Amino acid sequence: MAVTGAELVGQALKRLGVDTFFYIMGAPMLQAEKACLDLGLRGIDVRHEQAAAMMAHAYARLRNVPGVCMACSGPGVLNLGTGLGNALVDCAPVVALGGSSPVKEYGIGAFQEFDQLAAMKPLTKWAERVYETRRIPEFIATAFRLATAGKPGPVYLDLPGDVLFASIDEADVVWPAPLGERPRPAADPVQIAKAIAMLEAAERPVVISGSGILWSDAPAAMTDWIEHTSMPFYTTPQGRGVVPEDHRCASPNARSAALREADLVLVLGTRLNYVFGHGKPPRFAKDTKLIRIDIDPGEIASTPQVTLGICADVRVALGQLLAAAGGLGGDRYAAWMQRLASIEAEKGPAAEAALATDQMPIHPLRLCKEVRDFLPRDAILCVDGQEILNYGRQTIPTHTPGHRLNSGPFGIMGVGLPFGLGAKAAKPDKMVLVLHGDGSFGLNGMELDTAVRHGLPVITVISLNGGWTADPKREKPGRELGYTRFDEMAKALGCHGEYVERPEDIRPALDRAAQAVAKGQPALVNVVTDWQARAQTVRFSASST
């Protein structure tokens, strides 16, 4: 019986358990997309290919499986690039499938002919082209394995038109073996013993973690570790929620002091990049000892100040540490915890008072407070922008693993709404709220149409400060964008829309948005905020304080 390459794409994805993909229709991928739909996969067609890659990224984070996106040849594939580059820096497993011009017409000026493979290689951890129709399922399975192997990341598979259109006998198809479980390397027991000895000798230890905890399915293991040892913990923005942020060992307002005064830092599944001052002074003390556990030996090798590097799956390694940590329980670090608790008690009330401001125009902190108080504990929060991103980072906690998404270490803008839609597709039973700056919203704002067409009822809240970033003197070139009535735009696209100018009106507007979402209608709340409010940001140098 004959089968086409396009049909093999659908069959291969179905066998791998894929149930959703994000795309924009176009040749030569049309028949492959139709084959997926005919097999029962959900296809969510978007308004820009970068949004397809971003939605796949969010879907991957919420489901802990590779997210899938597709694009037509030439500019369609190139448009995936921004989202794939972000997934690469953010270490998210995205599988991108791109159509391309026919192999038989290479070099003679085929329609949209362009070296897509060369363009995708720096944006992914692996990129390859299929030249034989019979091997399409084999290459797709390889793409899935590589996306999740070791440190996760995006991969790209190029599918020329003549390879997709060719018809072959089913008996000639190369069907790969099932993927099986991800490899989970254990730590060297000698290194585990050394780590325990270092922790027993420490007086002021701190745990810092990142999204590696999520990819390793390790939130429960990390919670067990924190519960047993009573060590204070801090996470990257992308790794928040692995332990509820109102846990007794969380002291968010004491973060700077905790890192600066720690005599030992246990680094779990995260890079020591600018977020943590590269693990160097003055963010950390000069003599701080670092224990780093990561599945990627290259990550450990990239940090010369690491005292002990352990190459292992973080969930397995935490289990090994906990099994050997009998002497680390109880009140061993009680004095240290009391020190951080006193800082929290001193700073907490002032921080809360700042959130309650009634000033006009609305301060972004007040907007964040209203969002914080409105959200259920298990809500998914996506934050995107400049000032609002930083205010949101400082004020809105996350209590559920994986339920916090933002621009990540690439500092990309425009991910908010696509992330929200990908998250809603992954977990339709959870409230999804996107907290957007007005500038960043403009990059992918038409995805509101995608939300309406595909029944993805998210709440989008915009901090409308009239332009890019704060500018107390209004001197920055290109800053001004005006006060766009995004709420009217949302209504025109079929969403519920609200416009808010007074702080006391924020919560009622959010409540009405929730009512619309409960009926299946996406909602947007457009909140006018103070254009002079400037959030404190993370510096991009090792001299951060």
Q: What is the pLDDT of residues 151-198, one digit of tens each?
A: 999 999 999 999 999 999 999 999 998 888 888 999 999 999 999 999
In CATH, which of 3.40.640.10, 3.40.50.1220, 3.30.230.10, 3.30.565.10 is domain 189-343? 3.40.50.1220
CA distance linking residue 231 with residue 247, whole number of Å: 11
Strand stretches in 182-315, DSSP E: 205-209, 233-235, 264-268, 289-294, 308-311
pLDDT in tens, 431-448: 999 999 999 999 999 999
Fold of 2-172: Rossmann fold (3.40.50)
Alpha carbon 315 to its chain centroid, in Å, reads 20
State the pLDDT at residue 537: 57
Average pLDDT over all residues of the chain: 94
pLDDT in tens, 54-100: 999 999 999 999 999 999 999 999 999 999 999 999 999 999 999 99
State the pLDDT at residue 541: 29
The three-class DSSP label of residue 153 is coil
State the pLDDT at residue 280: 87
CA atoms within 13 Å, Cβ hemisphere of 369 = 16
**Cβ–Cβ under 8 Å, residues 160 and 100:** yes
Beta-ladder partners of 436: 384, 462
Beta-ladder partners of 209: 235, 268
Q: Is residue 542 predicted with pLDDT exceeding 50?
A: no
At a CB cut-off of 8 Å and minimum separation 6, what does 491 contact? 497
The CA distances from residue 210 to 134, 159, 218, 271, 370, in Å, are 40, 34, 11, 8, 27
pTM of the model: 0.95
What's the residue count for the chain? Answer: 545
The CA distances from residue 39 to 261, 286, 437, in Å, are 57, 58, 39
At a CB cut-off of 8 Å and minimum separation 6, what does 158 contact? 77, 98, 100, 116, 117, 120, 127, 128, 129, 130
State the pLDDT at residue 544: 31
pLDDT in tens, 500-541: 999 999 999 999 999 999 999 999 999 999 999 888 654 332
Asked whether the CA dihedral 50, 55, 56, 61 is positive or negative, the reply is: positive
At a CB cut-off of 8 Å and minimum separation 6, what does 212 contact? 91, 151, 218, 239, 268, 269, 270, 294, 295, 314
| DSSP-derived pairing of the beta strands 167-169 and 2-4 | antiparallel
Q: Is 513 exposed, middle or buried (0-12, 13-18, 19+ CB in 10 A)?
A: buried
N-to-C CA span, the chain? 67
- The yes-or-no answer to whether 2-172 and 356-528 have a common fold is yes
**Cβ–Cβ under 8 Å, residues 496 and 523:** yes
At a CB cut-off of 8 Å and minimum separation 6, what does 286 contact? none
**Cβ–Cβ under 8 Å, residues 84 and 120:** yes
| DSSP-derived pairing of the beta strands 264-268 and 2-4 | unpaired
List % helix, strand, coil for the chain (3-state, nearest 5): 45, 15, 40
State the pLDDT at residue 418: 98
How many CB atoms lie under 10 A from the CB of residue 120?
A: 26
Q: Is residue 20 predicted with pLDDT exceeding 80?
A: yes
**Cβ–Cβ under 8 Å, residues 509 and 500:** yes
Rounded to the nearest 10°, the torsion over CA 468, 407, 437, 373 is: -150
The class (CATH top level) of 356-528 is: alpha beta
At a CB cut-off of 8 Å and minimum separation 6, what does 480 contact? 466, 467, 474
Mean pLDDT on 34-63: 98
How many CB atoms lie under 10 A from the CB of residue 399?
A: 18
Q: Give yes or no for a cis peptide into 409 (omega within 30° of 0).
A: no
Place of tokens 């038109």: 161
State the pLDDT at residue 89: 96
Q: Give yes or no for a cis peptide into 477 (omega within 30° of 0).
A: no
pLDDT in tens, 469-503: 887 878 889 899 999 999 999 999 999 999 999 99
**Cβ–Cβ under 8 Å, residues 389 and 437:** yes
* Nearest by Cα to 392 from 379, 382, 402: 382
State the pLDDT at residue 240: 94
Instruction: Please provide the DSSP assignment of 215-238 as one string.
Output: HTT-HHHHHHHHHHH---EEE-GG
**Cβ–Cβ under 8 Å, residues 96 and 155:** yes
Q: Is 201 exposed, middle or buried (0-12, 13-18, 19+ CB in 10 A)?
A: exposed
| Percent of the chain whose pLDDT exceeds 90 | 84
Domain ranges of the chain: 2-172, 189-343, 356-528
Which amino acid is it at 408?
Answer: G
Which amino acid is it at 485?
Answer: R
Q: Is residue 329 predicted with pLDDT exceeding 90?
A: no
Mean pLDDT on 10-29: 97
State the pLDDT at residue 407: 87
**Cβ–Cβ under 8 Å, residues 10 and 36:** yes
Radius of gyration of the chain (CA): 24
